[in-house]
Amino acid sequence: MTIRPAGVDEGIVFIRKDIPSGYRIQADYNNVADTTLATTLGTNGASVSTVEHLLSAFWGMGIDNAVVEVDAPEVPIMDGSARPFVEMLKGVGTKTQGKYKKVLVVRREISVSDGVGTAMFLPATEFKITYKIDFKHPIIGQQSYSMTFTDERYEREICPARTFGFLRDVEYLQARGLALGGSLGNAIVLDDERVLNKEGLRFPDEFVKHKILDAVGDLALLGMPIIGHFVAYKSGHKLNNLLLKELMSREENREIIDRPAGEATPERFRSLRIPAFRILDAGRA
């Protein structure tokens, strides 16, 4: 995988270098082709999967425009978290591009449910996340976490959280030719009673924090920061994507700030706390 700079308003674009035509796949919520185990983007017969951790790192560090070249149908899993991507991005640095970000403001409550989990947006003056999970496992059980989003909190508390899975599921998938790269090096693996990774957990609540990491990556497909409170219970990639589609289909539930350079912020937006992101100096951030 290679990440290259992109122009203003180009957004995040994936290019499959292993396909002769070099299809460009825009990171957009309308291009989600599959949500089984991971988020897969697809257009014109080409796809790229497991994009959520990289997109989470982009959004967490305030990066709007980038070209991602991959030579396989999947983004590298790395250690199962977004931390390697964040460290890569800090290593090369970021720069402003002379244009204000578009920002979406949630105006009314909106929610989706699949009968088991729920995901919703509530109006708020800043971007908040509240997430609750419930697994019938002695190590996980019920976990919840709530945060007001900042890039520093994301880097410290969310991006190191690894994906997790159960040994019985890994064995089932690998017997069918799936998840062949899955190992203790790129995921937390649990048997029926304990964590199998020798190093243990990075956080006591690493499981719910990884769900937040995934959600940030899924919400990044909106293409702009959000001012609102994202609340989820047993949600996943499918519900997160459905929530974005529901939000964008209902104009009365949201408003988009698109302020040209030099124009003052409209009065109705002045109480909002729009996320601020550090400009990362290469090697010193």
Give the count of beta carbons closer than 10 Å to the beta carbon of residue 162.
26
DSSP letter string, 228-273 = EEEEEES--HHHHHHHHHHHHH-GGGEEEE---TTPPPPGGGTT--
Query: CA 124 to CA 236: how far, in whole Å?
Result: 22
Q: What is the mean pLDDT of residues 263-281?
A: 72
The pLDDT of residue 85: 97
pLDDT tens digits along 198-210: 999 999 999 999 9
In the chain, domain spans? 2-162+202-269
Structure tokens at 235: 């949600």
Query: CA 240 to CA 131: how far, in whole Å?
Result: 12
pLDDT above 70 for 181:
no
pLDDT above 90 for 266:
no
| C-alpha distances out from residue 54 to 135, 141, 194, 214, 281, Å | 26, 27, 28, 10, 20
Percent of the chain whose predicted confidence (pLDDT) is above 90: 75
pLDDT tens digits along 62-92: 999 999 999 999 999 999 999 999 999 999 9
| C-alpha distances out from residue 145 to 138, 149, 165, 188, 189, Å | 18, 12, 20, 19, 21
Query: Which is the CATH superfamily of the domain at 2-162+202-269?
Result: lpxc deacetylase, domain 2 (3.30.1700.10)
Cβ contact 139:156 at 8 Å: no
Average pLDDT, the chain: 90
The pLDDT of residue 174: 60
pLDDT tens digits along 88-146: 999 999 988 878 888 999 999 999 999 999 999 999 999 999 999 999 999 999 999 99
Going by pLDDT thresholds of 50, 70 and 90, the confidence category of residue 191 is very high
Specify which residues 162 forms β-bridges with: none
pLDDT tens digits along 15-54: 999 998 778 999 999 999 999 889 999 998 899 999 999 9
pLDDT above 80 for 176:
no
List of residues 6+ apart from 242 with CB closer than 8 A: 112, 119
15 versus 177: the higher-pLDDT residue is: 15
pLDDT above 80 for 264:
no
Active site residues: 237
